Structure 1
C-alpha cells in the first residue's frame, strides 16, 4: 500500500478527539446518519488535526452515496490534507470509479498543483485501469512527476499493473521517462516481470538506458533467468522495421496521438497496428 495513504488513514482512525460524527458517518458509509447530521446543520468541512475532511474520509473508502451527500452540501471538492492530497487522490487510491466521476462532475482538478502523487499516480498505484483511462480522458498529465515515485508509468510498472501500463503507453506516456535516470524498464527488470519487459520494449523502451548507478535494466536480473534471457534476446535481436516505424510514428504524433492516428487516411489494419490493437 501507499505509505502516505496509510499514514493518512491511520491519522483518521487515531485522532479521535478531533474527528466529528460527520467524519465517522462518511467513513463508514452511513448515508442516512450523514444526511441527518447535514440537515441538523453539521459542518461538512470540519478537519482533523491532519486536515482530513469528511469528503477525504468518504472518498478513501469509496463511499459513493456519502461523497454525493457531502458534495451537495457544499464540501470543498479540492480540499487538501496534511499530505497535500485531495479527495480525488483518495478516490483514485480506493479505485472507486463512481467516486472519481462524482468528484470530477463537481469540478475536482484532475491536475492539482501538488508536489506529491497526483490522482493519476494514485490510480496507477491502486491498479484501477478504469480510473486511469477516465483521468486520461479528462486531461490528466501523463508525465506528472512525484519526487518519490517518478511518473505514473514508473508507479504502474513498480506495482506490476500491466493493464494500467498498457493504457498509459497507448495514451502516449513517455516510455523512457527517467527518475534519477531510472526508467520504467529498470522497474520491470527489478520486479522480474517478463510480460512487462516485453510490453515496454514493444513501445520503444530503451534496453541500454543506464540509471544513476550506471546499470542497465539487464543488470538487475539474475543470469539465465527468464527476464535476463528476454533482455538478452532484445539486445541481440533488433526490432523489426515495421516495429521501428510504428514507434517512430507514435513518437511523432506525441501525447494522446491515438486521436490523430485514428484520423489518418490509411487502411484500418494499419490503424489497428499503430494503436497496438
Structure 2
C-alpha cells in the first residue's frame, strides 16, 4: 500500500489570514493532489486505499482543497470544515463555476442547515455574479440572514460588487432588509458607491431608513461628495412628492365635499 507523505504547507482555505498569523498545518499527499488537480496521482492514491474524506487538523478535507482551487476532478459531498463552511461555500467563494455545477449535480445543499453564512453569501462576498445567479436559480434563500453580515445583498453592497447586487435585485431580493436596522443602502453610503446608491433607490431603497445608531444613509457620506449630493437629492425629491401627494389629496377631498354640498362655511375677508 502506498504511504502518505506529510508536507508542511499553508492551508489554501485561509489564505493570507493564515499566513499572516503564522498558521501551518499538516497536509497529506491526497490533499496536495486534490489542491493541484493531479487527477492521475489522486486516482492512484484512492485505489491504494486513501480516503477522500481524510481531514487535517483544521478539518479541511481534500475535497475542500479541490474546490477552493477550482479543481473539478473530485467527487462531491456535503462535508464541512471547522468553521462550518461546506464544499459548495468554498467553490462559490473561489468563483469556480464548474466546481459549483459539479457539486450541485452530486446533491450539494444550496441551503445547508444550521449554517447562517450560505453559499450565496460566499458568492456575493467574492463578487462572483455567475455563481450568484446559479445559486438563485437552484433555490438559494435570498433573505438568508447571517448574524455578522446580514443578507447576501448586504454582503454584495459592503463589498461593492455591483453586478451581484443587480442579480439579487432583479431576482426579487428585499432591498430594505435590515440587520440591526442597517440596510443595503447604508452599506452603499458607507463605501460611497454612487452607482450602488442609485440602483438601490431605483429598486425602492428607503433613503430615510435609520440604523441602530439613528443614522440615515446620507449621514454616512462625506458632505459635498457625489454620494452625499445624490442621497440629498433623493431625500428632497421624495419629500416634495409627499407634500404634493398630500396637497392633491386635500384638494380632491375638498372638491368631493363641495360637490356633496357639505361645505357650508365661507372664508370671510379680514
TM-score by length of 2: 0.80
Tell me the CA shift for residue 15 of structure 1.
1.2
- Please, which of 3, 15, 27 is the counterpart of residue 25 of structure 2? 15
**8 Å CA contact retained: 1:23, 1:57:** yes
User: Could you list the per-position Cα deviations for residues 141-194 of structure 1 after superposition, in whole angstroms to 9, with x for gaps in the alignment?
Assistant: 000111111100000000110000000011111100111110000000000000
Number of residue pairs matched by the alignment = 226
Q: Distance in 1 between matches of 2:205 and 2:122?
A: 23
Q: Distance in 2 between matches of 1:238 and 1:209?
A: 13
Asked if 1:144 corresponds to 2:152, the answer is no
Q: What is the aligned partner in structure 2 of residue 88 from structure 1?
A: 88
Matches within 5 A, 1:75-224: 77-224=77-224
Q: Which runs of 5+ in 1 are unaligned?
A: 242-277
Secondary structure at the counterpart of residue 117 of structure 1: coil
Change in CA separation of 1:163 and 1:199 when aligned onto 2, cut-off 3 Å: same
TM-score by length of 1: 0.78
Tell me the CA shift for residue 139 of structure 1.
0.2
Q: Which runs of 5+ in 2 are unaligned?
A: 1-12, 242-270
Q: Distance in 1 between matches of 2:150 and 2:188?
A: 14
Tell me the CA shift for residue 8 of structure 1.
10
Q: Distance in 2 between matches of 1:6 and 1:53?
A: 13
Secondary structure at the counterpart of residue 103 of structure 1: helix
More helix by share: 1
Q: What is the aligned partner in structure 1 of residue 33 from structure 2?
A: 25
Secondary structure at the counterpart of residue 36 of structure 1: helix
Higher relative contact order (CA 8 A, sep 6+): 1
Secondary structure at the counterpart of residue 155 of structure 1: helix
Q: What is the aligned partner in structure 2 of residue 46 from structure 1?
A: 54
Secondary structure at the counterpart of residue 99 of structure 2: helix
Larger Rg: 2
Change in CA separation of 1:31 and 1:230 when aligned onto 2, cut-off 3 Å: same
Secondary structure at the counterpart of residue 35 of structure 1: helix
**8 Å CA contact retained: 1:84, 1:116:** no
Tell me the CA shift for residue 115 of structure 1.
3.2
Q: Distance in 1 between matches of 2:115 and 2:52?
A: 26
Tell me the CA shift for residue 10 of structure 1.
3.6
Change in CA separation of 1:7 and 1:180 when aligned onto 2, cut-off 3 Å: farther
Structural RMSD (CA): 2.0
Q: What is the aligned partner in structure 2 of residue 229 from structure 1?
A: 229
